[in-house]
Structure 1
Amino acid sequence: MTSDRLQRFRDRLGLPLIAAPMFLVSGVELMVAACRNGVIGSFPTVNCRSTEQLESWFSEIDMRLRQHEDQSGRKPAPLCPNLIVHRSNVRLEQDLAVLLRHKPEIVITSVGSPAPVLKPLHDAGALVLADVASIRHAERAAAAGADGLVLLTAGAGGQTGWLNPFAFVRAVRAFYDGIIVLAGGISDGRALHAAEVLGCDLAYMGTKFIATRESMADERHKRMLVDSTADDILLTTAFTGLQTSMLKPSIVAAGVDPDDLPARGAIDIGKDIDVAARESRPKRWRDIWSGGHSASGVTDVLAVDDLVARTLAEYREAGGR
């Protein structure tokens, strides 16, 4: 299954794969490495401390990818910023303005309807992929005019969905002929090919990209993923208020009992009055780390070059083109 909307990028993709946008993990080095290896590189714009740094990231990534193209003769895969459209993102308008100046070819919207940003992004020439975690959200994003849907399924790392990927993909494909991206549980090239057979155009790979040399993740986070399996992933609302897949060993290391977590969103250091107490408490993403069910497939910390080469070999062995 290949949506017509992806044809313009087809000859630039070594794999039908997106390096998933991950908070505090996806940065310049990971984006450059992914794109020059034929993998769509995505990053949350909020990973930048300011709109000025976001401008700087775009400029540096563009320069380095142009150098790669000049040296190799191969055009890299597209860069794909991830825009948080929820009202809690106080930089939404400023970050959107940066995107419109740099005209990325693909943009992913998360945590809300893509409707408010669709027209300006389309006018700038971008394809817009919208994160969705339910059939109802998929229907709404499709009706709004999203070019693609990222289906957050059970097993995806970080903030995720809960639907079975087989059921979710087939239900959405029944009413939607745009780009479908599967997010959740893609641990190797065979799983990537299976996503295509299921009816997807692309898939996310997140957890395995955390454990790469180029990711911004804490080295302890990377090693913890190597030492963990899917059994070590806990789905909980305690840290963000939304269903989130977190690494149980990191919860234990932060001094919190994973079997006795408080109510929805209760672990929120922003609600503390005392500054010293706020700084001393474990912080989500900084001390308590995310991971997906594909943690079972993380066996070492690799360079992106090696991870993509291995995934490509697995994909071709499974019958992928």
Structure 2
Amino acid sequence: MSLPASLKSRLGLPLIAAPMFLVSGPALVKAACRAGVIGSFPTANCRTVEELDRWLADMADDLKRAADETGKPTAPLCPNLIVHRSNTRVPDDLAAVLRHKVEIVITSVGSPEPVLKPLKDAGCLVLADVASVRHAEKAVAAGVDGLVLLTAGAGGQTGWVNPFAFVRAVRKFWDGIVVMAGGMADGQAIAAAETLGCDLAYMGTKFIATRESLAKDGYKEMLVKSRLDDVLLTRAFTGLETNMLRPSIAAAGLDPDNLPMRGSIDIAKDINAAERDKPDAKRWKDIWSAGHSVSGVADIPSVAELIARTAAEYEIARHPERSRP
């Protein structure tokens, strides 16, 4: 496998707590990193670059204290840069990430090329979200260190490719870092991803339903009550295929089986407006996403508890003989 030994030695699990819009914040990231899992967050979760600077400084200080207390390094934190051309904050967010000397960055929703050179020059590992073999090839040609394969079953804006086929297709031409995103419900799934040829897995939905996440209590409770059949793939809210929770759509007064045309509901704009307490904020802010792993959400634990359970499941999957009487 292609994960650097200096990074692998700091992980208790080959796992990234996925970066989630308005869900991943400092408390979740710090708890994940302390428990041996890479903690990531979208820089867009910070309202300003100044807030991003504060988040990065706070997280770095906390993880240094944890390392000093235990005598061993924590897993690294990992900002997620949304590199789509519509994001005017990319240069400023990139500058903040460079100032704080982060070790890993994930790029999403666009080519990593505009941010790749300064990150690589700073010694940062760059992982790029990709949803097709063609995009994977382009990211490799650009010079990324790793690929996050967005497969069918991821929460929010999702991929469409079968994870088994996607990983094997990419491994035909790429020997760098591979991360599987989509449907990671437990430690058994992480072990299966490794068997396929992945270095790391993404887990998102189960981290939403943790005590440290920024998600509303109602959102977390809905995840506990929901199952796979409650996840709806739709283009209505973003114009892109997005996995959303049917119960939250119905609670907003919409019929999940008869939604408006694709992209006619600007959910991202309305959520941002709601977060700023604007009077034009829409009720869509309480339409929530989830991945296919939602059937595995049974309660609302702490991040440390979730990771400990997942690690136990992973060890049983890797060494089934140890679980036998």
**1:156 deviation in Å?**
0.3
Aligned partner of 1:59 in structure 2 is 57
1:293 corresponds to:
292
Match of 2:316 in 1: 317
Q: CA deviation at 1:282?
A: 2.2
For residues 65-84 of structure 1, what are the structure 2 equivalents within 5 Å?
65-84=63-82
1:282 aligns with 2:279: no
**In the TM superposition, what is the alpha-carbon distance from 1:277 to its structure 2 partner?**
11
Deviation at residue 188 of structure 1 after TM alignment: 0.3
Q: Does the 8 Å CA contact 1:238/1:262 hold for their aligned counterparts?
A: yes
Partner Cα distance (1:221, 1:236) in 2? 19
Q: How many residues align?
A: 314
Cα distance, 1:279 vs structure 2:
2.4
Deviation, 1:85, is 0.3
Deviations 1:107-161 (A, max 9, x none): 0000001011110000111000000011111111111111100000000001110
State the 1:90 CA deviation.
Answer: 1.3
Aligned positions of 1:1-150 closer than 5 A: 2-3=1-2, 5-150=3-148
Distance (Å, rounded) in 1 between the aligned partners of 2:211 and 2:155: 19
- Please report how far the alpha carbon of residue 93 of structure 1 lies from its aligned counterpart in structure 2 after TM superposition: 0.6
Query: Offset at 1:6?
Result: 2.3
Contact 1:193 1:319 survives alignment (8 Å): yes
Alignment-mate amino acid for residue 283 of structure 2:
P
- CA–CA distance in structure 2, aligned partners of residues 155 and 306 of structure 1: 24
Match of 2:260 among 259, 262, 280: 262
Structure-1 separation of matches of 2:149 and 2:27: 26
Take 1:211 and 1:16, find their aligned partners in 2: how far apart are those partners?
20
Q: For the residues of structure 1 that align with 2:155 and 2:77, how far apart are their CA atoms?
A: 21
The residue number in structure 2 matching 1:189 is 187
Match of 1:175 among 173, 179, 184: 173
* 3-state SS of 2:243 partner: strand
Q: 1:318 to 1:136 in 2, by over 3 A?
A: same
Counterparts of 2:282 and 2:111, CA distance in 1: 33
Relative to the length of structure 2, the TM-score reads: 0.94
RMSD (CA atoms)? 1.7
Mapped partners of 1:281, 1:112: distance in 2: 27
Aligned equivalent of 2:301? 302
Q: CA deviation at 1:94?
A: 0.4
2: CA distance, partners of 1:139 / 1:296: 33
Question: CA-to-partner distance for each residue in 1:224-255, whole Å, 9 max, x for gaps?
Answer: 00000011001111101111111111101111
Return the alpha-carbon distance in structure 1 between the equivalents of residues 118 and 181 of structure 2: 26
Residue 229 of structure 1 corresponds to 227
Rounded Cα–Cα distance in structure 2 between residues aligned with 1:297 and 1:178:
30
Relative to structure 1, the CA distance from residue 38 to residue 277 in structure 2 (aligned partners, 3 Å threshold; closer, same or farther) is closer
Letter in 1 for 2:58: E
Distance in 2 (alpha carbons) for counterparts of 1:100 and 1:133: 27
Tell me the secondary structure at the aligned position of residue 77 of structure 1: coil
**Counterpart amino acid of residue 153 in structure 1:** T
The amino acid of 2:229's aligned partner reads: D
**Partners in 2 of 1:306 and 1:215 — Cα distance?**
13
1:16–1:201 contact (8 Å) kept in structure 2: yes
Describe the SS at the equivalent of 1:310: helix
Contact persistence 1:193–1:320 (CA under 8 A): no
Structure 1 residue 280, shift from structure 2 partner: 5.5
Cα deviation, residue 278, structure 1: 7.4
Return 5+ residue gaps in structure 2 as ranges.
321-325
1:276-320: per-residue Cα shift (whole Å, max 9, x none)?
99725323xx31111000000000000011101000000000116
AA aligned to 1:55 is: D
Rounded Cα–Cα distance in structure 2 between residues aligned with 1:230 and 1:103: 39
1:15-35 per-position Cα deviation (integer Å, ceiling 9, x unaligned): 000000000000000000000
